[in-house]
Structure 1
Amino acid sequence: MIRRFGETPEPGRTYIRRVGAYALLPRGDALLLTCQTDPDPDLQLPGGGIDPGESPITALHREVYEETGWLIAAPRRVGTFRRFTYMPEYDLWAEKICLIYSARPVRRLGPPTEPAHTALWMAADAAVEALGNAGDRHFAARHLRRLRDR
């Protein structure tokens, strides 16, 4: 069973399952995040949908680059969650299955190529409070606990 965060699915509403790969990208005590400004500002773990025929790791590399401009290395799966939400950019209600990875940001090639995205570094403790969805906050908090336990 996959842990659910956020809203309870509405009875009678049809949700389209969307699987995506997302990354915790630590450097020291900070995380590399993306802020999607359209339709509304939303701070997120970089990542997104897995295209048909694409592997989760390939999607992770592509999405992180598109949303941050960074190349990553050594992705390692750390968990999964799901959430039910409306996705205005696709005009659909989705059951998002979020595959969460930890990876090392290795090199910034330039600004994000995805429109309406800005990459930013944020202290992990601030990210735990600022991320826009409860699943992202949960995995950022878990990362922060590991940092403090070292």
Structure 2
Amino acid sequence: MIRRIGPPPLPSQRYIRRPGAYAILPLKGRFLLTAETGNGIDIQLPGGGIDPGESPVQALHREVREELGWTIARPRRLGAFRRFVYMPEYDLWAEKICHVYVAHPVRQIHAPTEPLHETLVLSADDAIAVLGNEGDQMFMTRYAFG
């Protein structure tokens, strides 16, 4: 059973299962994050949905390139959590299955290509304080402080 983070599902709502892969990216004592700037600012671990035919690790590499413009190496799975949310960009009620990895940033090859995404580099304390969901905060805390 994958641990639920956040509010329980609404009994009257149908949810579509949406698996995704997300990365903790340590860089010289700090961490690379993404800021989605569409409707306000939402600070997140970089990552996103796993496309049909794609493995979680393939999705992780693609999403980090799109959202940050970085290449990564040696991803290692830390665990997973699930949360029930409305995703306005897709007009979708989703049960997000969030697979969390730690990986090593190799180099920035271009600016973010994902619209409305900006790269942040923050300390562990600052990252935990601003991450937009409890699951990201939980995994960052476990990784940074054991």
TM-score (ref. length: structure 1): 0.95
Taking the aligned partners of 2:94 and 2:38, their CA distance within structure 1 comes to 18
Map 1:1-150 onto structure 2 (within 5 A): 1-146=1-146
Structure 1 residue 143, shift from structure 2 partner = 1.2
Per-residue CA deviation, residues 67-123 of structure 1 (Å, 9 max, x unaligned), is 000000000000100000000000011000000000000100111000000011000
Q: Report deviation, 1:40.
A: 2.7
Sequence identity, in percent? 61
Q: Is the 8 A contact 1:31 1:122 kept in 2?
A: yes
Tell me how many residue pairs correspond in the alignment: 146
The one-letter code sitting in structure 2 at the alignment partner of 1:108 is Q
For structure 1, list consecutive stretches of 5 or more residues without a partner in the other structure.
none
Task: Give the Cα–Cα distance (whole angstroms) in 1 for the partners of residues 45 and 101 of structure 2.
Answer: 10
Q: Is the 8 A contact 1:20 1:99 kept in 2?
A: yes
In 1, the alpha carbon distance for the partners of 2:22 and 2:39 equals 20
TM-score scaled by structure 2?
A: 0.98
Q: Give the deviation of 1:29 after TM superposition.
A: 2.3
Kindly report structure 1 stretches of 4+ aligned residues shifted beyond 2 Å.
none
Aligned Cα RMSD in Å? 0.8
